[in-house]
Amino acid sequence: MLRFTLRQIEYAVTIWDHGSVAAASTRLGVAQPTLSAALAKLEQQMGLQIFIRHHAQGVSPSPAGLRFLTEARNLLSHAQDFQRGVVAAGSAVEGELSLASFATIAPAFVPPLIKGFMSLHPDVTLRMAEGTQTELYAGLRSGLHDVALLYAVDMAEEFTFTPLASLAPHVLLPATHQLAHLKRVPLAALKEDPFILLDIAPSRTYFTRILDSVGITPRIAFASPSLEVVRGLVGQGLGYSILITRPFGDHAYAGEELAVRPIAEDVEQGVIALAALKQLRKTRLVAAFESHCVQYFNTIGAAS
Amino acid sequence: MLRFTLRQIEYAVTIWDHGSVAAASTRLGVAQPTLSAALAKLEQQMGLQIFIRHHAQGVSPSPAGLRFLTEARNLLSHAQDFQRGVVAAGSAVEGELSLASFATIAPAFVPPLIKGFMSLHPDVTLRMAEGTQTELYAGLRSGLHDVALLYAVDMAEEFTFTPLASLAPHVLLPATHQLAHLKRVPLAALKEDPFILLDIAPSRTYFTRILDSVGITPRIAFASPSLEVVRGLVGQGLGYSILITRPFGDHAYAGEELAVRPIAEDVEQGVIALAALKQLRKTRLVAAFESHCVQYFNTIGAAS
DNA sequence: ACCATTGAATTGGTTAAATCTATGCTGCGC
DNA sequence: GCGCAGCATAGATTTAACCAATTCAATGGT
Question: Per-residue pLDDT tens for B70-116?
Answer: 999 999 999 999 998 888 776 777 788 999 999 999 999 999 999 99
Specify the pTM: 0.80
CATH number of A95-166+270-299: 3.40.190.10
Domain boundaries for CATH 3.40.190.10 within chain B: 95-164+270-299, 169-262
CATH number of A6-91: 1.10.10.10
Determine the topology of domain A169-262 in CATH.
Answer: D-Maltodextrin-Binding Protein; domain 2 (3.40.190)
Q: Looking at residues A236-256, what average pLDDT do you find?
A: 90
Name every residue whose Cβ is closer than 8 Å to that of residue B51 and which is 6 or more positions away in sequence. B15, B16, B39, B43, B59, B60, B61, B62, B65
Domain boundaries for CATH 1.10.10.10 within chain B: 6-90
Does A89 contact chain B (CB < 8 Å)?
Answer: yes
* Mutation site for B-interface testing, chosen from A3, A5, A6 by largest number of B Cβ within 10 Å: A6
C-alpha–C-alpha distance, residues B252 and B72, integer Å: 67
Closest CA to A98 of A295, A277, A296, A279: A277
Q: Reduced to 3 states, what is the DSSP secondary structure of residue B291?
A: helix
Question: CA torsion A86→A91→A94→A99, rounded to 10°?
Answer: 100
Tens digit of each residue's pLDDT (9 = 90 or more) over B213-248: 999 999 999 999 899 999 999 999 999 999 998 888
Q: Is the peptide bond before B202 cis (omega within 30 degrees of 0)?
A: yes
* Mutation site for A-interface testing, chosen from B4, B10, B43, B62 by largest number of A Cβ within 10 Å: B62
Sorting pLDDT into bands at 50, 70 and 90, what band is A93? confident
Tens digit of each residue's pLDDT (9 = 90 or more) over A125-155: 999 999 888 889 988 888 889 999 999 988 8
> Is residue A215 classed exposed, middle or buried when 0-12, 13-18 and 19+ CB atoms within 10 A define those classes?
exposed
> Is residue A42 classed exposed, middle or buried when 0-12, 13-18 and 19+ CB atoms within 10 A define those classes?
buried
Name every residue whose Cβ is closer than 8 Å to that of residue B162 and which is 6 or more positions away in sequence. B273, B274, B275, B290, B293, B294
Q: Class for domain B6-90, per CATH?
A: mainly alpha
CATH number of B95-164+270-299: 3.40.190.10
Q: Reduced to 3 states, what is the DSSP secondary structure of residue A182?
A: coil
Sorting pLDDT into bands at 50, 70 and 90, what band is A90? low
Collect all residues of chain A within an 8 Å Cβ-Cβ radius of residue B80: 2
Chain B 159-188, CB below 8 Å of chain A: which residues? none
Domain boundaries for CATH 1.10.10.10 within chain A: 6-91
Asked whether residue B37's C-beta has any atom of DNA/RNA strand C within 7 A, the reply is: yes
Q: Reduced to 3 states, what is the DSSP secondary structure of residue B102?
A: strand
Tell me the one-letter amino acid at A302. A
Q: What is the model's pLDDT at position B102?
A: 94
Q: What is the model's pLDDT at position A147?
A: 94
Closest CA to B128 of B152, B147, B142: B147
Helices (H) and strands (E) in chain A, counts: 9, 12
Q: Closest Cα of chain A to B285: distance in Å?
A: 10
C-alpha–C-alpha distance, residues A161 and A144, integer Å: 17
In total, chain A counts a number of residues equal to 304
CA of A30 to C1' of C8 (A): 15
C-alpha–C-alpha distance, residues A69 and A52, integer Å: 13
Q: What is the model's pLDDT at position B109?
A: 93
Task: List bases, strand C, within 7 Å of protein CB.
Answer: 5-12, 18-22, 26-28
Collect all residues of chain B within an 8 Å Cβ-Cβ radius of residue A124: none
Name every residue whose Cβ is closer than 8 Å to that of residue A52 and which is 6 or more positions away in sequence. A59, A60, A61, A62, A65, B141, B142, B143, B277, B279, B280
Collect all residues of chain A within an 8 Å Cβ-Cβ radius of residue B89: 48, 64, 67-68
Q: What is the model's pLDDT at position A179?
A: 92
Out of A87-96, A143-152, A275-284, B217-226, least confident range: A87-96
Tens digit of each residue's pLDDT (9 = 90 or more) over B18-77: 999 999 999 999 999 999 999 999 999 998 999 999 888 889 999 989 999 999 999 999
Q: What is the model's pLDDT at position B303?
A: 46
**B6/A10 touch (CB, cutoff 8 Å), yes or no:** no
Tens digit of each residue's pLDDT (9 = 90 or more) over A185-229: 999 999 999 999 999 878 888 898 999 999 999 999 999 989 989
Maximal CA-CA distance, chain A:
105
C-alpha–C-alpha distance, residues A304 and B62, integer Å: 34
Collect all residues of chain A within an 8 Å Cβ-Cβ radius of residue B2: 6-7, 10, 79-80, 83
Task: List bases, strand D, within 7 Å of protein CB.
Answer: 4-11, 17-21, 25-27
Closest CA to B50 of B82, B79, B73, B31: B73
Name every residue whose Cβ is closer than 8 Å to that of residue A182 and which is 6 or more positions away in sequence. A261, A264
Domain boundaries for CATH 3.40.190.10 within chain A: 95-166+270-299, 169-262
Measured CA distances, A1 to A4, A250, B5, B29, B218 (Å): 9, 67, 13, 11, 67
Strand D contacts (CB < 7 A) among A residues 272-291?
Answer: none
**A89/B48 touch (CB, cutoff 8 Å), yes or no:** yes
Sorting pLDDT into bands at 50, 70 and 90, what band is A157? confident
Tens digit of each residue's pLDDT (9 = 90 or more) over B238-285: 999 999 988 888 898 888 899 999 999 999 999 999 999 888 888 889
